[in-house]
Homo-oligomer: A and B are copies of this chain.
Amino acid sequence: MNLLEGKKVAETIKEELKLKVDKIKNTSHRTPHLKAVLVGNNGASLTYVNNKITACKKVGIRSTLTQFESDITENSLLEEIKKINEDNDIDGYIVQLPLPKHIDEQKVINEISPQKDVDGFHPSNFGKMALGMPTFIPATPLGIIELLDRYKIDTSSKQCVVLGRSHIVGRPISILMSQKGKNSTVTVAHSKTTNLQELTKQADIIISALGIPEFIKDDMVKEGVVVIDVGITRVTDKTKLKGYSLKGDVDFEAVSKKASYITPVPGGVGPMTIVMLLYNTIRAWELNQKSNA
């Protein structure tokens, strides 16, 4: 069994991106700038945003956080989004989800300028991704592709089973794995799938984004399978100081004995996601330079 060490790979990519940012700083008067927009005080959201900001600092990307009260109206938020779109000093930005219930998330996403949409959630970017055109690809699927590439895992003609059909992970990774380039034969399983074990047992590659801790057991996979575990759930654990431990969708101890490659949780897909956001931000800087040239 080989670990797919996302954390290590992410560190390597960060070094590469830092070199790129250093070069930009030497030749341009403007350093790439990522803004994070946060509405309310959700603890998990704040942690995610802070992780992203810390990562930015490490590679030399400027980052700013704009926080709004949880009772901001939808209209006011949309107005703020428009201002960010027009601010040439912001190359890319993310609106941390989830938003409070009185705000229509899709309406907000639709308002983000596609040129600054480093999360790749805007329909026109999502469409370009699905059509194989150059665009911002959502960070988690992009991180998975990058991880497979760095470990030189052959995906062509392989049976790939994706668990989950979310807009953020399942749907985009299923499309990317199926496109020219990766060339896997992809099956998307979801809550209405009834023969899951049959599917996963046939799979050469399993990409799981369910959010159900230790759902995939060793009797569900075949010898030599490649396992990408996107799930990360807090499970009560009194032996830990924090009172919980983080669990993936996969029963790591058992499944790792049969897998040829497997991502750990934490330290697998998570760090790759953050670093791909940085990658997208530098890309957004390049687009911004061009459109202001």
Residues of A in contact with B (beta carbons under 8 Å apart): 106, 122-133, 156-157, 159, 165, 167, 171, 175, 178-179, 183, 185-190, 192-195, 199
Contacts of A192 in B (CB 8 A): 156-157, 183, 185
In the assembled complex, which residues on chain B have CB atoms less than 8 Å from the CB atom of A156?
Answer: 192
In the assembled complex, the Cα of A190 lies from the Cα of B156 at a distance in Å of 11
Q: Check if A193 sits within 8 Å of B157, measured CB to CB.
A: yes
Smallest CB gap from A120: residue in B:
B127
Q: How far is the CB of A106 from chain B (nearest CB, A)?
A: 7
Q: Are A188 and B185 in contact (CB under 8 A)?
A: yes
Query: In the complex, what residues of B have CB within 8 A of residue A106's CB?
Result: 131, 133
CB distance from A161 to the nearest CB of B (A): 9
Closest B-chain residue to A156, C-beta based? B192
- The answer, among B133, B185, B199, for a CB contact under 8 Å with A189, is B185
Instruction: Please measure, in the bound complex, the distance between the C-alpha atom of A157 and the C-alpha atom of B194, giving whole angstroms.
Output: 6
Q: Which residues of B contact A193 (CB under 8 A)?
A: 157, 185
Contact check, A128 vs B127: say whether CB atoms are below 8 A apart. Answer: yes
Additional A-B contacts beyond A127-B127, A185-B199 (13; CB < 8 A): A122-B127, A123-B125, A123-B131, A126-B127, A126-B130, A127-B130, A157-B192, A165-B179, A171-B175, A178-B188, A185-B189, A185-B193, A185-B195
Neighbouring B residues of A179 by C-beta, 8 Å: 165
Give the Cβ gap from A88 to chain B, nearest Cβ, in Å: 23
Could you give 8 example pairs across A and B, Cβ below 8 Å?
A123-B125, A123-B127, A126-B131, A130-B175, A131-B167, A131-B171, A183-B190, A185-B190
Establish whether residues B185 and A130, one from each chain, have CB atoms under 8 Å apart when the complex forms.
Answer: no
**Residues on the B chain within 8 Å of A123, using CB:** 124-125, 127-128, 131, 133
Cα of A179 to Cα of B127 in the assembled complex, Å: 16
The complex places the Cα of A188 from the Cα of B189 at a distance, in Å, of 12
CB distance from A208 to the nearest CB of B (A): 15
Is A186 a contact of B183 with CB atoms below 8 Å? no
List the B residue with the shortest CB-CB distance to A167.
B131
A206 to B198, CA, bound (A): 19
